[in-house]
A = this chain, B = another copy of it.
Amino acid sequence: MLKTTASFWEVLSRGIKKVPTLQGQVVANLFFEPSTRTRSSFEIAAKRLSADILNFSSATSSMTKGETILDTAKAYVAMGTDIMVIRHRQAGIPQVIAQEMDNLGIKVSILNAGDGQHEHPSQALLDLFTICTLLDAKNPRLDLLKGKKIAIIGDILHSRVAHSNIWSLTATDVEVHLAAPPTLLPRFFNNYGQDRAGKIFLHWQLEPALEGADFVITLRLQKERMASYLLPSWREYHYLFGITKSKLKLCNPNVKVLHPGPVNRGIEISSDLIDDPEISLIQDQVTSGVAVRMALLYLIGSCKTIGEEKE
């Protein structure tokens, strides 16, 4: 998968960035939740592959007339959609749709673009690709991560990005250190490391996670957590868990910082770090995102899949 992404990454660095790979195929973006990056990223990836895009917006659709999500999805398939990219605030929706298509014998591919607090596979894949490409641009591969220490800081409990990253990073012999206030990092996250090649460590303080870290993935703090009494204030969160240049001194001197976006400047990460080209990989992540999604669309094509494909 990383190899395919690398070849599409190479396409994107050419003059003419378009290839006719998915000519005549239809990709439907069924986004039931707001998104800038993921939606546009899939859209531009599909267009680079010469596919046709259908954008769905629930506010101007027949869902206002009471149509179910499954019937909406089936209508898109009947119209000729080959690949459906689905984002929904309810976990499990892409899987439910995929199973229903299975039951009905309908041939369509489903890509999970983020389902509730469950998973966000394409984000984890692009994070992986960004990291591996940094370590070896010509031959990005999973085993480059062997022996590395990667910290994930933030609202782990509610973050589908964190869940997918934990899964993908522990596919090889890596130390994944999670750090968050106790309300956002319950003990059961220890179990995520079982039967995986990598190891997971939980911390309720920032510093142990950062010590010697090679990569730091910060997550967006949703401001509504304060309203639900999970955190006292964003200021206290920033004081204890915000990533700043001084705190990064604990890490490996060549440490890099990632963030899935969108960023709350000054909350989970200080504003100067976000734009620091020596440390931040945030813009690279967005660029990788298009290459990764081109690879996903290409590999999945017209085979049906539940939503995750990492290897």
Subset of 9 A-B contacts with CB under 8 Å: A17-B24, A35-B60, A36-B72, A67-B262, A68-B265, A71-B261, A79-B286, A80-B287, A80-B290
Task: Specify how many copies of this chain sit in the oligomer.
Answer: 3
Taking the closest CB of chain B, its distance from the CB of A85, in whole angstroms, is: 14
Whether a CB of chain B sits under 8 angstroms from the CB of A220 is: yes
Q: Is the CB of A65 within 8 A of B34?
A: yes
Return chain B residues, CB-CB under 8 Å to A43. 54
Q: Is the CB of B80 within 8 A of A36?
A: no
Partner of A286, one of B52, B68, B75, B289: B75
Interface residues of A in 30-78 (CB under 8 A from B): 31, 34-37, 39-41, 43-44, 47-48, 52, 54, 56-57, 59-68, 71-72, 74-76, 78
Whether a CB of chain B sits under 8 angstroms from the CB of A251 is: no
Return chain B residues, CB-CB under 8 Å to A261. 62, 67, 71, 75
Whether a CB of chain B sits under 8 angstroms from the CB of A270 is: no
- A37-B18 contact given A262-B67, A262-B71, CB 8 Å threshold: no
- A57-B60 contact given A66-B264, A67-B262, A76-B40, CB 8 Å threshold: yes
Partner of A104, one of B12, B23, B275: B275
Q: Is the CB of A262 within 8 A of B24?
A: no
Tell me the count of chain A residues lying within 8 A, CB to CB, of chain B: 60
Interface residues of A in 75-119 (CB under 8 A from B): 75-76, 78-80, 104
Whether a CB of chain B sits under 8 angstroms from the CB of A283 is: yes
Give per-residue flags for A260-279: 1 if the beta carbon is below 8 A from chain B beta carbons, else 0. Answer: 01111100000000010000
Partner of A60, one of B31, B78, B223, B285: B31
Whether a CB of chain B sits under 8 angstroms from the CB of A209 is: no
Q: Is the CB of B47 within 8 A of A52?
A: yes
Taking the closest CB of chain B, its distance from the CB of A27, in whole angstroms, is: 11
Q: Which chain B residue lies CB-closest to A76? A: B40
Return chain B residues, CB-CB under 8 Å to A16. 23-24
CA of A64 to CA of B265 in the docked complex: distance in angstroms?
15
Q: Is the CB of B37 within 8 A of A62?
A: yes
Taking the closest CB of chain B, its distance from the CB of A131, in whole angstroms, is: 16
Q: Is the CB of B12 within 8 A of A34?
A: no
Whether a CB of chain B sits under 8 angstroms from the CB of A26 is: yes
Q: Is the CB of B66 within 8 A of A283?
A: no
CA of A285 to CA of B79 in the docked complex: distance in angstroms?
9
- A62-B262 contact given A80-B17, A80-B290, CB 8 Å threshold: yes
CA of A72 to CA of B283 in the docked complex: distance in angstroms?
11
